[in-house]
Amino acid sequence: MKQIPPSFESVRGALLAVIGFIAILLLVIAGSAAALDRPYVALGDSVAAPSSSYVGLLFPNFQSQLGTTQLLNRAQGGATSGSLRGFQLATALGDINAASDTAVVTIDIGGNDRFACADQWDSCPFRGNFAATLDDLEGALAGDPGSEPFAVMAYYNPGVGTAQEAGYDRALLGANGVVGLSDIGTDVGLNDVIHQEAAARGLPVADPYPAFKLHGQAFMQADGIHPNSAGQAAIAQTFCDAIAISCELAPPPPPPPPPADASAPETQITKDAPNKTEKTKLKFRFKSSEPNSTFECKLDKRAWKLCRSPKKLKQLDEGKHKFKVRAIDAAGNTDRTPAKDKFRVVKPRRER
């Protein structure tokens, strides 16, 4: 039987069907890839910008805990609340509005605003810039699929344990030295504004201030401004705590030991002997300028011996005497200028 070759139209139809199937398959694959694209979007200043920052430490934890697939760190060194609202915010909003499902957003900003806002955090531009940035990010997230954590960072005191500690505390906490959601005026510092604006929007705050207060310069780089690796890990942990996920981070080093006590105590005799006395028994009382001190006493040329207040002297010979006492503090520092009292024992009048 003679075979009839397929017509051009039938071949063309078959090719179009194959091409259509391939196109649909590609769309499905592309849609699946888009559905799996779950970025972590980070904004901030030089604390967040380096690859070794808390942002980099958080990313693998967000991968395992939140299904994050991509890190988009838009933080820039030197950023202020005003400059962030330019290219950095526009880029982050583009990330959130892209065809993806944003997994998490973090932001730290304000440290570089301290020069313009000193003692005026309640009225300087920072509050308005920060509030507007939070609103813009929340607005973009509202149009993003699903729900995602959005956390802001309060600031650590970089001067803990140095002469600058009090000045930084004033900038961070205001005149009253504490964060207050209702603080106003000079009682408002940078961290007050961050906590207040975050609370107004129901946003969690990652607050590393207490951890840095405990560990001090053990969390700081040599520049005295930026956290070292231990400090960055501490900041990352506060974000994990703020959004209530379990993170695997290096434990912080133990707090530094207190500075060695090199100052000697001062000793004071509070009850001494009269300049001239007929008594052969006397009692001395004394105290130290430091708590938990011990004492050593000495009479005339005799050796120093441990003693306590009151110290009783018995069987005193007639003549001149010198009583000395020195305190030794808990660190072992001995008073180098012992307290002393001179007195003279004379014969009783009836024997003269």
Looking at residue 32, its pLDDT comes to 47
Looking at residue 18, its pLDDT comes to 56
Looking at residue 146, its pLDDT comes to 87
For each of the chain's 352 residues, which pLDDT tens digit applies?
A: 555 555 656 655 566 565 666 656 555 455 544 455 899 999 999 999 999 999 999 999 999 999 999 999 999 999 999 999 999 999 999 999 998 999 999 999 999 998 899 889 989 999 999 999 999 999 999 999 989 999 999 999 999 999 999 999 999 999 999 999 999 999 999 999 999 999 999 999 999 999 999 999 999 999 999 999 999 999 999 999 999 999 988 766 666 677 788 899 999 999 999 999 999 999 999 999 999 999 999 999 999 999 999 999 999 999 999 999 999 999 899 999 999 999 999 998 776 5
Looking at residue 34, its pLDDT comes to 45
Element (H, E) at 276: strand 276-277
Helices (H) and strands (E) in the chain, counts: 9, 13
Task: Supply angle C-alpha 284, 285, 286, rounded to 5.
Answer: 125
What is the token pair recorded at 55?
């942002």
The domains found in the chain, sorted by start residue, are 22-242 (3.40.50.1110), 267-351 (2.60.40.10)
Beta carbons within 8 Å of 49's beta carbon, 6+ residues apart: 73, 75, 76, 77
